[in-house]
Structure 1
């Protein structure tokens, strides 16, 4: 007698098949890398640069969606991979706080910026810091800079038709030029600021290390960036202008202005947030869709500029994770999380959740609805999302109307980081259109 699968009924049970074929960090001997905490180190930057994190997350969503894990440092944390669970953790500050830190690189150490920097401050104080800045970065305010942003985009992509073009390197300069202009930072400083912010989010990447270890690199990047903004703020105190830093200095927090430390911390956060998102969305779309027909389809339908950009954001999920700490004991999908436990939400996994998105592993420029969490959710939804979206729509529109026949021209190099899913190098070729294509934005 056999079962419906054709296996003899009296055959011994087969050993469970591991759902992940390979990973950079090998599983414990004889074990599956995802089950019951597994042997795969999700914090390992190599998993995200040289491995297949999406295969790991796919298996975890199915077999172990909320799992307790331990970082190499010995500090435990909970890993969350499902969309609905991500919504709970990131939305409800009464259950999960941001003030102890939001990134894995400080797991086990409370963030000294907690309660001072907007990204690591809970409501209601968070709202008092955020609301004025949100108005300053509204769609109306950003649209006033649209032509200036378009000029930056055109300048960066203009050499694309002249041979092999490193698309990732060009895109790395886009957010710095835009945000640097909005913050009133000298153009001569942009290249160094881009390098310092990249080192801060990818201290394990040999190309961007500033010292002899990731820890020393992170420390050096932080010190240099904060020293830079200290000098800038001192200069603005003598002569304010029409820029975001001057605006931060004017925000009223219950009858007082931000301290020097608060202003510097929020300048750092704004610049980091910009450099984390915009370039890697464009590069991920190019790296995976060049030569597939998707970009040609998009070029032929410029009315899909908004939906195409939203899909590129979902697809790339450039901010790889956000961390929170449980305020009190809470149960999530049957897992009992104790007060004080660190909880890490993998945004790239939530944005490929089969229960939230139809055919999630397909890049669909017509996807609707598309409630991705690339910018986070809730009160901490990225304050600069409008700048990022306008920049990306302009970039895709100008690129697709001016160039065609995008092809890989060498191996891509992914950024070695567990926080940013992105590319440091992406050589491509493209051909200039004889006549500009239709423009949709």
Structure 2
């Protein structure tokens, strides 16, 4: 596949001619160098994909505009590049691909269930789960930090949905296959398309069975909220419940698993970890910097409802527009020294959780979990070093790692 320009559209500048549709690009390329060139030379640029294509938006202000303005840019035709030109069968039924006002009616009950008070009540359990995940690192041997972090979101959301603990590893694997079907860690027979279909089929069948079992006694967990939800006087259809369970699972894995690995890879073996450990008052600002730095959800896609101007480019009605969060969070016009990990960065107006109507519904849970994780890491371990080559995830959606070998010394029994 090649990156080309169409005569009616702005070409991708030669300095940044990277294939942003190919997931392999993100596993082998310095994407921040690519986005830096795009912000400078072609902040709104077109990439052809066969007979289709998409606009890339790379500057902070433009990304904010595309994600906030749901009247001009709809999410309901698909919000991820792997659905480019295919549409999304969940459009209008799944919260992530539903526009206001229906989106707000889906979101509000879940937002209440994920309130600060609810998360604070769950804090002891979250800390216990984090300590359990980090415990093997205390023996001083090589520890795959990224693999441990991959299990953390499921441990948290699994309890919030009252899913059996025995099911968590399989659900983690299936969610990974849904996010990155082209990655060798998740690819199965028949190639990535077949892997994606299998993962979706298994996850949807799982939640269909669980929802059916729970229908008579929903409970007050997240699945129970979906089962009890009514919009305009009508309960959610079974397919809507299943689709939103899938979306919650996906969202948890996107926001929580990757920031710790990205931060540790940057800080391990430097004085910055010791500096952070010596200043517990910087826990919150450091976590926000880890979110900005990693920008785990690299993009969200929208479709233009009408012709619209973005900078000096006309985006036509029906065109796909991809807002690159990973680029926006390193925009030099917003973040001084954007390529420096600064635990003291304030203000830090990152958009790692998105922006606008689709701002991550689970951001409170994710933030609390990450603060607990970094607190346990900084107070419980020292001499953290990278002990092998990290393996980057093959995905144009998630920025992250499937493996990060480290060694450390535990400072608590």
Is the 8 Å Cα contact of residues 410 and 428 (structure 1) preserved in structure 2?
yes
How far apart are the structure 2 equivalents of 1:159 and 1:308?
24
Q: Gaps spanning 5+ residues in structure 1: where?
A: 1-24, 436-441
**CA shift digits 1:97-152 (9 cap, x unpaired):** 00111000010011000000000000001001101110110111111100000000
Matches within 5 A, 1:336-347: 336-347=314-325
Match of 2:277 among 295, 299, 307: 299
* 2:89 paired with 1:112: yes
Matches within 5 A, 1:71-150: 71=49, 73-150=50-127
- Counterpart residue number, 2:31: 53
Larger Rg: 1
Is the 8 Å Cα contact of residues 16 and 38 (structure 2) preserved in structure 1?
no
Matches within 5 A, 1:151-190: 151-162=128-139, 163-190=141-168
Is the 8 Å Cα contact of residues 413 and 425 (structure 1) preserved in structure 2?
yes
- CA shift for structure 1 position 191: 0.2
- Counterpart residue number, 2:45: 67
After superposition, the CA RMSD in angstroms is: 1.5
Q: Secondary structure at the match of 1:207?
A: coil
Is the 8 Å Cα contact of residues 248 and 263 (structure 1) preserved in structure 2?
yes
- Counterpart residue number, 1:423: 401
- CA shift for structure 1 position 37: 9.7
Q: Secondary structure at the match of 1:46?
A: helix
Give 4+ residue runs of structure 1 displaced > 3 Å after superposition: 25-28, 36-39
Match of 1:252 among 211, 216, 230: 230
- CA shift for structure 1 position 239: 2.6
How far apart are the structure 2 equivalents of 1:301 and 1:273?
31
Distance change in 2, residues 1:257/1:424 (3 Å): same
How far apart are the structure 2 equivalents of 1:197 and 1:425?
17
- Counterpart residue number, 2:370: 392
**CA shift digits 1:177-203 (9 cap, x unpaired):** 000000000000000000000000101
Is the 8 Å Cα contact of residues 61 and 82 (structure 1) preserved in structure 2?
yes
* 2:179 paired with 1:208: no
- Counterpart residue number, 2:287: 309
- How many residue pairs are counted as aligned between the two chains? 406
How far apart are the structure 2 equivalents of 1:375 and 1:389?
10
- CA shift for structure 1 position 252: 1.9
- Counterpart residue number, 2:303: 325
Distance change in 2, residues 1:133/1:27 (3 Å): closer
Is the 8 Å Cα contact of residues 352 and 360 (structure 1) preserved in structure 2?
yes
How far apart are the structure 2 equivalents of 1:92 and 1:27?
28
- CA shift for structure 1 position 256: 1.2
* 2:245 paired with 1:271: no
- CA shift for structure 1 position 36: 6.6
How far apart are the structure 1 equivalents of 2:403 and 2:322?
28
Q: Gaps spanning 5+ residues in structure 2: where?
A: 5-10
Is the 8 Å Cα contact of residues 274 and 388 (structure 1) preserved in structure 2?
yes
Q: Secondary structure at the match of 2:408?
A: strand
Is the 8 Å Cα contact of residues 218 and 228 (structure 2) preserved in structure 1?
no
How far apart are the structure 1 equivalents of 2:288 and 2:217?
39
**CA shift digits 1:240-291 (9 cap, x unpaired):** 2231101111112111111100000000000001011211011100112111
Q: Secondary structure at the match of 2:146?
A: helix
- Counterpart residue number, 2:331: 353
Is the 8 Å Cα contact of residues 132 and 251 (structure 1) preserved in structure 2?
yes
Q: Secondary structure at the match of 1:356?
A: coil
Distance change in 2, residues 1:407/1:259 (3 Å): same
- CA shift for structure 1 position 38: 6.1
- Counterpart residue number, 1:16: none
Is the 8 Å Cα contact of residues 295 and 399 (structure 2) preserved in structure 1?
yes
**CA shift digits 1:21-77 (9 cap, x unpaired):** xxxx9988xxxx951796421112122111111111000000000001112x43111
